[in-house]
Amino acid sequence: MSYTLVIHGGAGNITTAIMDAQMELDYANGLRAALDAGTQLLQQGGSAVDAVVAAIAEMENNPIFNAGRGSVFTKKGLNEMDAALMDGIDLSAGAVAGVRNIKNPIRLAREVMLHSGHVFLSNEGAAEFALKQGIEMAPDEYFFNKSRYDQWVEIRDTDYTQLDHKGDNLKGAIPNTGHKFGTVGAVACDQNGNIAAGTSTGGMTNKRFNRIGDSPVIGAGTYANNKTCAISCTGHGELFMRAVAAYDVSCLMEYKGLSLKDACAVVVKEKLVKMGGEGGMIAVNAAGEYEFCFNSAGMYRGMRNSEGKEIVGFYGM
Ligand code: ASP
**Tens of pLDDT, residues 256-300:** 999 999 999 999 999 999 999 999 999 999 999 999 999 999 999
Q: What is the pLDDT of residue 54?
A: 99
Q: What is the pLDDT of residue 74?
A: 84
Tell me the average pLDDT across 204-227.
94
The residue whose C-alpha atom lies closest to atom 9 belonging to ligand 1 is 203
Whether 183 is a known active-site residue: answer yes
Q: What is the pLDDT of residues 50-67, one digit of tens each?
A: 999 999 999 999 999 999
Q: Is the pLDDT of residue 178 over 60?
A: no
Q: Is the pLDDT of residue 115 over 80?
A: yes
Q: What is the pLDDT of residues 140-158, one digit of tens each?
A: 999 987 777 777 777 777 7
Q: What is the pLDDT of residue 189?
A: 98
Q: Is the pLDDT of residue 209 over 60?
A: yes
CA distance 171 to 191: 43
Of 7, 204, 268, the residue with max ligand 1 atoms within 8 A of its CB, to mutate for a pocket test, comes to 204
pLDDT band at 162 (very low <50, low <70, confident <90, very high): low
Contact 219, 244 (CB under 8 A): yes
4-309 maps to which CATH number? 3.60.20.30
CA distance 149 to 170: 21
pLDDT band at 168 (very low <50, low <70, confident <90, very high): very low
Tell me the average pLDDT across 159-168.
57
Q: Is the pLDDT of residue 132 over 50?
A: yes
Q: How far is CA 84 from CA 91, 152, 237, 316, in A?
A: 13, 25, 14, 27
Q: What is the pLDDT of residue 174?
A: 34
Q: Is the pLDDT of residue 128 over 70?
A: yes
Kindly report the CA angle at 225 between 57 and 214, in degrees rounded to 5?
55
- Residue 91 φ/ψ, nearest 5 degrees: 65, 25
- Sequence-separated (6 or more) residues with CB below 8 Å from residue 104: 56, 57, 60, 61, 68, 135, 136
Tell me the average pLDDT across 181-203.
95
What does pLDDT average to over the chain?
Answer: 92
Percent of the chain past pLDDT 90, that is, above it, reads: 80
- Options 4, 183, 201, 234, the catalytic residue: 183
Q: What is the pLDDT of residue 76?
A: 84
CA distance 4 to 289: 8
CA distance 209 to 72: 13
Q: What is the pLDDT of residue 148?
A: 75
CA distance 137 to 85: 19
246: CA distance to ligand 1 center in Å? 13
Q: Is the pLDDT of residue 317 over 80?
A: no
Q: What is the pLDDT of residue 4?
A: 98
Q: How many CA atoms lie within 13 A of 27 on its CB side?
A: 30
Q: What is the pLDDT of residues 79-112, one digit of tens each?
A: 999 999 999 999 999 999 999 999 999 999 999 9
Pocket of ligand 1 (CB under 6 A): 10, 164-165, 183, 201, 203-204, 213-215, 221, 234-235, 237
pLDDT band at 163 (very low <50, low <70, confident <90, very high): low
Amino acid at residue number 182:
G
Q: What is the pLDDT of residue 135?
A: 98
Q: What is the pLDDT of residues 34-51, one digit of tens each?
A: 999 999 999 999 999 999
235: CA distance to ligand 1 center in Å? 5
Tell me the average pLDDT across 103-130.
98
Q: Is the pLDDT of residue 169 over 80?
A: no
Of 71, 170, 183, 281, the residue with max ligand 1 atoms within 8 A of its CB, to mutate for a pocket test, comes to 183
184: CA distance to ligand 1 center in Å? 9
Domain spans in the chain, listed from the N-terminal domain onward: 4-309
